[in-house]
Amino acid sequence: MRFFSYFMALLFMPLVTSAQNAFQNFGSIKIHSNANVGFHTDLVNNGDFDDNLGLVGFYSDNEVRVISGNNKPIFNNVEIDAVNNLELEVALGITNELEYVNGKVITPRDMINVSLDFITHNFYVGEDDLRHTDGYASVISTKEFIFPIGDDNRFRPMITPKQQQNVNFKGAYYFENPNTPSISLSSFTSTFDTTEKQIFINNISNLEFWDLDGASETVVTLTWDTQSDIESISNDLQSLRVVGWNKQENKWFDLGGNNITGDFNEGRLTSSSFIPDNYDIITIGSQLPNGNIDGTNLLMSPNEDGINDALVFEGLEQYKKNTLSVFNRWGNTVLEVEKYDNNWEGLSEGRATIDGKKQLPVGTYFYILKFGDDSLDKTLTGWIYINR
């Protein structure tokens, strides 16, 4: 149902004007409970329009409907029925309910502060490939939140779970290759080379990625569909992982893969806990396949200079049931440990060591790392060179 009552506001608000193509607010407006206000023209908000109840609708059969101005309007219930989309040039806040009737909400991807903001929201309805937020949406809530985001005519939500306290997350979806993203935001690295990755990661999607921002630790659930081409990432769904581009290391990190459901055409998987702000973008990858795997040859220099002092397998925290064995060139065991925690500094801890732990001499050593995950049968092997 379309409501068109803003002319009543014009009778009582002298600082509100109606230009030919926009409703402009320079003063202070408040919509009370049970009020229904319909915008069949653009909204320019340069005043106070953020303490509202009732229902507000944005409508258009032909024109692109636009919200702009210096100040963010915040509404209670919102209905969007704009066939050619509602474009935001300033953020729009919603405190209760949203219904996508027709069209998308378009936000500028190079201005992530301009977003569709769900503020202690209740729910939204109507989202699909033709009706979603094409750009950035944010949430402040303790509830599970399914981001109603997509790219063009492609709805691709991501999900954050219930939280212990109010958290603020913001996110967007990009249907493009992370190696050559078409847009570079101030918070982004220019490219996200999918060959720069932790040794346990096998493949990384070159078709899509998400941006998730927030300072609170969380897990996140990503989704896929037929256009994700999951089989090009892995032919085993249980090997799928959420991976993220680490801002400090400039490489892809394994963020875990849990609760994997669906098939190659449609499904979802959930990460382990991480802090979104530590990662530029996230996407779907896969872990190394089952069987014996030739690993990277590693360098150690345990001289307490803070560089390569310990034997580190990046991403090992995702495989807590691991077992690590290290052998010298004669095949003698110098280290055998369960639940290895990236802390070995080149001391002999094998059974043949008579005087307890002692520094191993410079040289090459062989390692066998068993992942230990109940669902996996993976063994990583390689060489370690110790240089003091």
CB atoms within 10 A of CB 212: 24
- Answer whether residue 8 shows pLDDT above 50: no
pLDDT of residue 187: 59
Last residue of a domain, one of 170, 186, 209: 170
- Answer whether residue 296 shows pLDDT above 80: no
pLDDT band, residue 177 (cuts 50/70/90): very high
- Answer whether residue 4 shows pLDDT above 70: no
Residue with tokens 């607010």: 25
- Answer whether residue 339 shows pLDDT above 80: yes
Domain count across the chain? 3
- Residue 228 and residue 208 in contact, taking contact as beta carbons nearer than 8 Å: yes
For residues 198 and 252, membership in a common domain is answered with: yes
- Residue 211 and residue 169 in contact, taking contact as beta carbons nearer than 8 Å: no
For residues 89 and 219, membership in a common domain is answered with: no
**pLDDT tens-digit series, residues 67-109:** 999 999 999 999 999 999 999 999 999 999 999 999 999 999 9
pLDDT of residue 243: 98
For residues 6 and 135, membership in a common domain is answered with: yes
pLDDT of residue 184: 58
Query: Beta partners for 251?
Result: 246
For residues 280 and 341, membership in a common domain is answered with: no
pLDDT of residue 292: 67
- Write down the mean pLDDT value for the chain: 88
Say which CATH number the domain at 319 has: 2.60.40
Q: Comparing 6-15, 56-65, 171-180, which segment has the lowest mean pLDDT?
A: 6-15
pLDDT of residue 254: 95
- Answer whether residue 291 shows pLDDT above 80: no
The pTM assigned to this predicted structure is 0.83
For residues 37 and 165, membership in a common domain is answered with: yes
- Answer whether residue 253 shows pLDDT above 90: yes
Please state, in angstroms and rounded to a whole number, the distance separating the CA atoms of residues 41 and 301: 68
pLDDT of residue 229: 97
- Mean of pLDDT values over 339-355: 77
Using DSSP's 3-state secondary structure scheme, residue 66 falls into strand
Q: What is the DSSP string of 228-276?
A: G-GGGT-S-GGGEEEEEEETTTTEEEE---EEEEE-SSSEEEE---B-G
Q: Comparing 76-80, 145-149, 160-164, 189-193, which segment has the lowest mean pLDDT?
A: 189-193
For residues 165 and 209, membership in a common domain is answered with: no
For residues 130 and 236, membership in a common domain is answered with: no
Please state, in angstroms and rounded to a whole number, the distance separating the CA atoms of residues 96 and 86: 19
For residues 17 and 160, membership in a common domain is answered with: yes
Q: Which residues of 291-311 are buried (b: 16+ CB within 10 A; e: fewer)?
A: eebebeebebebeeeeeebeb
Last residue of a domain, one of 257, 289, 321: 289
| Parallel, antiparallel or unpaired: strands 221-224 and 240-246 | unpaired
For residues 129 and 254, membership in a common domain is answered with: no
- Answer whether residue 10 shows pLDDT above 80: no
For residues 295 and 379, membership in a common domain is answered with: yes
For residues 129 and 258, membership in a common domain is answered with: no
- Residue 259 and residue 222 in contact, taking contact as beta carbons nearer than 8 Å: no
* Enclosing domain of residue 378: 291-386
pLDDT band, residue 207 (cuts 50/70/90): very high
- Answer whether residue 374 shows pLDDT above 70: no
In the chain, the largest separation of any two C-alpha atoms, in whole Å, equals: 95
pLDDT band, residue 185 (cuts 50/70/90): low
User: Number of helices and strands (H, E) in the chain?
Assistant: 1, 34
- Answer whether residue 20 shows pLDDT above 60: no
pLDDT band, residue 373 (cuts 50/70/90): low
For residues 253 and 268, membership in a common domain is answered with: yes
- Answer whether residue 221 shows pLDDT above 70: yes
Report the candidate in 311, 315, 319, 288 with the shortest Cα–Cα distance to residue 367.
311
Identify residue 253 by its one-letter amino acid code: F
Last residue of a domain, one of 289, 305, 333: 289
- Mean of pLDDT values over 304-324: 87
